[in-house]
């Protein structure tokens, strides 16, 4: 009776172990389906990143910020463009004029004449002003605005890199956590079968109540770990939805970007110091501040402009009805600043200090990028080594578990030994899944650290955003309140 039960139970555990091994193989090397039994199409890592590139709100907000900065160009160029305005006025007028008229011949008292005027004076004037020389203020303002646009584009590239890297991390986190949940579910099934076998053996006096309690504790602990893994998976799914924009359904395994990386760390550092958006943005910001210094210095130089005015007035001479006046004038105006309270000198000194700060910030960005490259390459190497170690650990743990179970059948191992071996195998498999995830995520981080993580570099199937289109549309625009997209 006991041998028959034991053989059946051992057969059940063997089938569960085989199913666990196949499940782990699928999860570690294949895709994962979330909520779909027969998916019409699989979601790959690159297709998910294409979704994020096209619709991520943070990235779209950054693109809008660049378009806002583009408008600084026509604003700066306006300094050397003509200014035209019309002034008009109209309104009732009342006047009382009292004038001396000599002295009275009889009394000798002074005499006066008095007149009252009522009318409706009105008039209009056309004023035109054109700056001829502004000591380079406009040209330097244009260069400052252009550098600001380039800095904004580099900042947008930083956001693009962060979005793609966060998207890859969210994608791989869902894969990892789904695999861990499935591993823990299957582990519970194995432990429950182990508990059933232990109880059967306890009924025939083969094991003690302690063995049963140990098996029950393992099942309870496994359920607790499953609940924690499910909570982690829900959190990863929420992050995926936030970054990618849709719920994860059927995810294919992600691939590492190691083929796109420079072959050596030194090459990666050299590329990063030139191409990384953080460094590029800092250099453009320094250029913008350098132009700002020249703009501030122009306040000390003379300016020259020409002006013209044409005006027409009606009833304007003391409100006398019927009076009319026409005037036209053209003149040049030279302004030579001598002393304006010292504020212009303070502005120049302040701009020079800001330039020094911007250059120091560029040095800071270079150091930060260098450290990021070294760190990301180190994490990638660690993940690669961890995969090799974890695979060896899984293989050794499978062999150990099989041996412990066989030895337990003949009484050479206890139930606790079997449970410990099962837990060791589970831990090794979870570690392998985590290491595989870490390798993909680290490869994206490494490519981002050198400044080449972009939709173009990844060849995403999406229309690439070109910030230069909007810039060309508005940089020389003289009139109009509508944006190029007719908003």
Average pLDDT, the chain: 87
The reply to whether 50 and 99 lie within a common domain is no
The reply to whether 241 and 310 lie within a common domain is no
Q: Looking at residue 257, which CATH number applies to its domain?
A: 1.20.1600.10
Average pLDDT over residues 178-183: 94
User: 75 in a domain, yes or no?
Assistant: no
Whole-Å CA distances, 301 to 131, 294, 485: 14, 11, 41
Average pLDDT over residues 354-370: 96
Alpha-carbon gap, residue 237 to 173, rounded angstroms? 8
Boundary-marking domain end, from 310, 336, 362: 336
The reply to whether 248 and 370 lie within a common domain is yes
The reply to whether 276 and 143 lie within a common domain is yes
The reply to whether 30 and 109 lie within a common domain is no
The reply to whether 122 and 152 lie within a common domain is no
User: Where residue 317 falls among pLDDT bands split at 50, 70, 90?
Assistant: low
Burial of 196 (0-12, 13-18, 19+ CB in 10 A): middle
Q: Range with the lowest mean pLDDT among 46-50, 95-99, 245-249, 300-304?
A: 95-99
User: Where residue 144 falls among pLDDT bands split at 50, 70, 90?
Assistant: very high
The reply to whether 277 and 422 lie within a common domain is yes
Whole-Å CA distances, 72 to 114, 139, 149, 153, 278: 60, 13, 8, 14, 21
The reply to whether 255 and 391 lie within a common domain is yes
The reply to whether 60 and 155 lie within a common domain is yes
The reply to whether 215 and 321 lie within a common domain is no
The reply to whether 36 and 159 lie within a common domain is yes
Say if residue 13's pLDDT is above 80: no
Whole-Å CA distances, 463 to 34, 255, 264, 300, 457: 28, 22, 32, 49, 13
- Beta carbons of 42 and 252 less than 8 angstroms apart: yes
Domain count, the chain: 2
Boundary-marking domain end, from 288, 311, 336: 336
Residue 413 has a pLDDT of: 85
Upper half-sphere CA count for residue 73 (Cβ side, 13 Å): 20
Domain that holds residue 179: 2-70+134-301+342-474
The reply to whether 61 and 96 lie within a common domain is no
Q: Range with the lowest mean pLDDT among 201-205, 213-217, 377-381, 458-462?
A: 201-205
């Amino acid at each position: 009776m006991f041998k028959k039960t034991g053989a059946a139970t051992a057969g059940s555990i063997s089938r569960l172990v085989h199913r666990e091994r196949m499940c782990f193989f699928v999860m570690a090397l294949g895709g994962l389906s979330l909520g779909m039994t027969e998916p019409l199409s699989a979601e790959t890592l690159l297709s998910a990143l294409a979704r994020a590139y096209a619709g991520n709100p943070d990235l779209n907000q950054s693109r809008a910020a660049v378009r806002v900065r583009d408008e600084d160009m026509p604003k700066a160029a306006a300094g050397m463009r003509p200014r035209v305005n019309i002034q008009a006025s109209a309104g009732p007028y009342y006047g009382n004029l009292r004038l001396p008229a000599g002295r009275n011949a009889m009394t000798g008292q002074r005499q006066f004449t008095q007149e009252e005027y009522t009318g409706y004076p009105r008039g209009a004037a056309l004023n035109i002003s054109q700056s001829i020389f502004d000591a380079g203020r406009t040209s330097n303002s244009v260069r400052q605005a252009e550098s600001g646009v380039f800095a904004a584009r580099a900042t947008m590239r930083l956001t693009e890199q962060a979005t793609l890297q966060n998207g890859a991390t969210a994608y791989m986190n869902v894969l990892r956590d789904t695999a861990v949940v499935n591993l823990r579910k299957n582990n519970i099934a194995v432990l429950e079968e182990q508990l059933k076998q232990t109880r059967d053996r306890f009924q025939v006096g083969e094991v003690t109540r302690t063995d049963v309690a140990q098996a029950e504790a393992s099942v309870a602990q496994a359920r607790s770990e499953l609940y924690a893994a499910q909570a982690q998976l829900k959190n990863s799914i929420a992050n995926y939805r936030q970054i990618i924009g849709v719920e994860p359904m059927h995810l294919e395994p992600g691939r590492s970007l190691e083929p796109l990386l420079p072959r050596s760390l030194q090459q990666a550092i050299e590329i990063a110091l030139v191409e990384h958006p953080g460094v590029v943005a800092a250099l453009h910001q320094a250029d913008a501040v350098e132009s700002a210094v020249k703009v501030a210095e122009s306040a000390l130089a003379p300016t020259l402009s020409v002006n013209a005015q044409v005006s027409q007035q009606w009833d304007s001479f003391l409100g006398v009805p019927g009076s009319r006046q026409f005037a036209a004038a053209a003149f040049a105006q030279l302004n030579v600043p001598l002393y304006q309270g010292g504020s212009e000198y303070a502005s120049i000194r302040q701009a020079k200090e800001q330039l020094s700060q911007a250059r120091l910030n560029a040095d800071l960005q270079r150091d930060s990028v260098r450290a990021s490259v070294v760190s990301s390459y180190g994490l990638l190497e660690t993940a690669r080594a961890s995969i090799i170690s974890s695979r060896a650990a899984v293989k050794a743990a499978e062999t150990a578990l099989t041996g412990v179970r066989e030895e337990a059948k003949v009484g050479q191992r206890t139930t606790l030994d079997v449970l410990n071996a099962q837990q060791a195998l589970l831990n090794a498999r979870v570690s392998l899944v985590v290491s595989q995830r870490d390798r993909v995520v680290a490869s994206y981080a490494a490519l981002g650290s050198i400044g080449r993580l972009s939709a173009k570099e990844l060849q995403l199937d999406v229309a690439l955003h070109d910030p230069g289109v909007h810039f060309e549309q508005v940089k020389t625009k003289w009139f109009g309140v509508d944006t190029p997209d007719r908003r």
